[in-house]
Amino acid sequence: MTDAIGLQALEHALNALTTRVSSLREARSAYPADPRSTLDAALAELDTAGELLEASLRELRRAPRRSGERESGSQRELKLLRQVFRTFPVPVVVLDGSGVVRRISAETSRMLGSPAGYLIGRSFPLFVDVSRRAAFRSHLTAVQRGGETATFQTRLSHQGRAHTVQLAVIRLTMPGEPQAMTAVVILPLETQVSTAPAGPVTRSDASLMLASARRQELLARMTRLLLDEESLRQPVTVTRAARLLAAETADWVIADVVRDGMPRRATVLGPSDKPVTELVRVVEGLNPLTAPAVAHVLTGGSGVVHEMLEDDTLLGSVPGGPPLLRVMGAASVLIVPIQGEAGALGALTLVRLRDREPFTLADLGLMEEIGVHLGLALRARRNFQTRFQAAEALRTSVVPRALPDIPGFEAAAVYHAGSSSVGAEFYDAFPVRDGWGFALGGAVGKSEEAAAVTAMVRNGLRVLSVWESEPAEALRKMNQALTAQNSGMFVMAAAGFVRGRKIRLASAGHHPAALLQPDGGVRFTAGGGVPLGIDPEAEMFGEEITLTRGQTLVFYSDGLVASQNEQGEPYGEDRLADVLARSVAQAPATVVKAIEDDRNAFSGGRVWDEVVILALRAV
Please state, as a whole number, how many other Cβ atoms lie within 10 Å of the Cβ of residue 203: 14
Task: Quick: pLDDT tens for 152-202.
Answer: 888 887 766 678 888 888 888 766 666 778 889 888 887 544 344 433 444
Q: Which residues pair with residue 162 across a beta bridge?
A: 157
**Closest listed residue to residue 586, CA positions, set 525, 524, 520, 523:** 520
Q: What is the mean pLDDT of residues 477-484?
A: 92
Asked if 90 contacts 187 with a C-beta cutoff of 8 angstroms, the reply is: yes
Give the domains, in start order, of the chain with CATH numbers. Answer: 80-188 (3.30.450.20), 209-387 (3.30.450.40), 398-618 (3.60.40.10)
**pLDDT digit string, tens, across residues 417-454:** 776 655 678 899 999 988 999 999 988 766 677 778 88
Per-residue model confidence as pLDDT tens digits over 94-103: 888 888 888 8
Distance, in Å, from the CA atom of 212 to the CA atom of 203, rounded to the nearest integer, reads: 12
What's the pLDDT at 199? Answer: 39
- The enclosing H or E element of 337 equals strand 330-340
Q: Indicate the residue type of 572.
A: G
Q: What is the pLDDT of residues 251-290, one digit of tens each?
A: 999 999 998 889 999 999 999 888 889 999 999 999 999 9
| Contact assessment for residue 56 and residue 80, using Cβ atoms and an 8 Å cutoff | no
Q: What pLDDT score was predicted for residue 1?
A: 44
Q: What is the dihedral of CA 452, 457, 462, 464, to 10 degrees?
A: 130
pLDDT over 60 at 458, yes or no: yes
Average pLDDT over residues 47-63: 64
Burial of 347 (0-12, 13-18, 19+ CB in 10 A): buried
Q: What is the dihedral of CA 85, 87, 88, 94, to 10 degrees?
A: 40
Contacts of 29 (CB under 8 A, 6+ apart): 192
What mean pLDDT value characterizes the chain? Answer: 81
pLDDT of amino acid 196: 40
Name the DSSP class of 317. B
| φ and ψ at residue 435, rounded to 5 degrees | 170, -150
Question: What's the length of the chain?
Answer: 619
Highest mean pLDDT among 106-115, 210-219, 287-296, 456-465: 287-296
Q: Which residues of 365-375 are buried (b: 16+ CB within 10 A; e: fewer)?
A: ebbbbbbebbb
Strand partners, 188: 165
Separation of alpha carbons 401 and 388, rounded Å: 18
pLDDT at 198: 39
pLDDT digits (tens, 9 = 90+) for 566-615: 899 999 999 999 999 999 889 999 999 999 999 999 998 887 788 999 99
pLDDT at position 43 is 65
Look at residue 301 and tell me whether its pLDDT is greater than 80. Answer: yes
Mean pLDDT is lowest, of 1-15, 205-219, 338-352, 555-569, for 1-15
Q: What is residue 192's predicted lDDT score, i.e. its pLDDT?
A: 44
State residue 134 phi and psi, 5-degree precision.
-65, -40
pLDDT at res. 29 = 57
Q: In whole angstroms, what is the distance from residue 541 CA to residue 492 CA?
A: 12
The partner residues of 49 in beta bridges, in order of sequence, read none
Distances in whole angstroms, Cα of residue 51 to Cα of each of 105, 122, 183, 231: 16, 26, 12, 65
Q: What is the pLDDT of residue 547?
A: 93
- Res. 38 pLDDT band, cuts 50 70 90: low
**What number is the average pLDDT over the span 53-71?**
57
> Which pLDDT score is estimated for 377?
84
pLDDT tens-digit map of 383-405: 666 555 555 555 555 567 788 89
Kindly report, residue by residue over 494-550, the tens digit of the pLDDT: 999 999 999 999 999 999 999 999 888 999 998 888 999 999 988 888 899 999 999
More confident call, 212 vs 322: 322
Query: In this predicted structure, what is the pLDDT of residue 389?
Result: 56
Mean pLDDT in residue range 136-141: 84
d(CA 608, CA 599): 12
List pLDDT tens digits, range 318-346: 998 899 998 998 889 999 999 888 889 99
Smallest CA-to-CA distance from 527 within 503, 505, 499 is with 505
Cβ-proximal residues to 250 (8 Å cutoff; 6+ apart), any chain: 334, 350, 351, 352
Position 70 pLDDT exceeds 60: no
- The span from the CA of 55 to the CA of 58, in Å, is 5
**Element housing 571 (H / E):** none
CB contact at 8 A, 347 and 298: yes
Phi, psi for residue 82 in degrees, rounded to 5: -65, -40
Distance CA 541, CA 511 (A): 12
Let me know: does 414 contact 612? Beta carbons within 8 Å: yes
Range with lowest mean pLDDT among 110-114, 265-269, 464-468, 510-514: 110-114
Cα–Cα nearest to 346, from 388, 322, 321, 382: 382
What gap in Å lies between CA 609 and CA 588, rounded to an integer?
23
pLDDT at 554 over 90: yes
Flag whether pLDDT at 15 surpasses 70.
no
Q: What is the dihedral of CA 261, 263, 265, 267, to 10 degrees?
A: 90
Cα atoms found within 13 Å of the Cα of residue 507, Cβ hemisphere only: 17
pTM: 0.50
The string of DSSP codes covering 356-423 is SPPP-HHHHHHHHHHHHHHHHHHHHHHHHHHHHHHHHHHHHTTS-SSPPPPTTEEEEEEEE-TTSSS-
For range 7-19, the mean pLDDT: 65
